[in-house]
Structure 1
Amino acid sequence: MKNTHGISFLFLLLLSCINPSTSSNENQKIVERYYELFNKHQWEEMAKMYSEKALFKDPSLGTGIVEQNRVEIAKKYGELEALFPDVHDSIIQLYPTNTNHIVVEFVSTGTAPDNTKFTLPICTIFTIENGLITKDFTYYDNFEAAASNGKQ
């Protein structure tokens, strides 16, 4: 009987060592798919990658944490496309963790209605639970946008 418990314990120990890398790989695939949909401007499909209600930290939404549903997420990105019809994100590096987080360093580019081009380095920390994005915490320098809107 002792031997059976020892084998079970060893099996569970090995299983716990394998799980983080599998989760990390799955999370990486989710994020890669996310950016594929983003670059195709498939906002409704991309919004389905989020939980029913997800938490956002994004300078475009203010300084705090904002909860958004899938309809609001698709609308937000549709509005972004209206401002910058050729908006495109290029992943520089993915930093998977052994938890349910993945950090993405990327550069966003596009053209404004006045034909000025922008290049914006961005970093996002995604939290992924049960295959869905539950948190999207995005960081970039929004100083110029705030200054042009009279906010400082």
Structure 2
Amino acid sequence: MRTVCVIILAVCVAGCQPPGTDHDVNTAKAKQMFEAFNRHDWNAMASFYTEPASFLDPSFGMDHVSKTRNEIAAKYADLEKMFPDVHDEVTGLYASGDKVTVEFVSSGTAPDGSSFRLPIATILTFKDGLIVKDATYYDN
């Protein structure tokens, strides 16, 4: 029995990733990207993506599309025009391998006083410290 416990403990320890791994770096970069979003610093936000990056987003249609950093920044600058106080509240962050899944609630108020709150989930795929793929899911 003691041998079985030691083996189980060894497997559990071996499966844990030590601090400083890509796993941690990607999670930190995902947080920083959302911080840039909430500052409305669209160029800084776009800098977390490769040039270009792949997007799956209902606002772009049903298929993956390729977007440059300039196109990413422009999309969110347009969103800010519609909702000047647009904000994303991150409610969950989960990393596995090269992917970070982010759960968040996006909200904003239009100049006419109408507002929205929308739960969203995004799966970010990283390569060499940058987001190569952004798959975003929400009820359009």
TM-score normalised according to structure 2 size: 0.85
TM-score, normalised by the number of residues in structure 1: 0.79
Match of 2:21 in 1: 22
In the alignment, what sits opposite 1:70?
69
**Aligned twin of 1:94:** 93
RMSD between superposed Cα atoms in Å: 2.0
Residues 20, 58 of structure 1: alpha-carbon distance in 2 compared, 3 angstrom cutoff: farther
Q: Does 2:133 match 1:139?
A: no
List 4+ stretches of structure 1 deviating above 2 A.
15-21
Higher Rg:
1
Q: CA deviation at 1:116?
A: 1.0
Which AA in structure 2 matches 1:52?
Answer: E
**2: CA distance, partners of 1:120 / 1:131:** 28
Mapped partners of 1:21, 1:120: distance in 2:
33
Unmatched 5+ stretches in structure 2: 1-13
Give the fraction of aligned pairs with identical amino acids, expressed as a percent: 50
Letter in structure 1 aligned against 2:73:
A
| CA drift at 1:113 | 2.7
Secondary structure of 1:24's counterpart equals helix
Size of the alignment, in residue pairs? Answer: 128
CA 1:106–1:17: 2 relative to 1, 3 Å: closer
The secondary structure found in structure 2 opposite 1:85 is: coil
Counterpart residue type for residue 76 of structure 2: Y
Alignment of 1:1-152 (within 5 A): 18=17, 22-97=21-96, 99-142=97-140
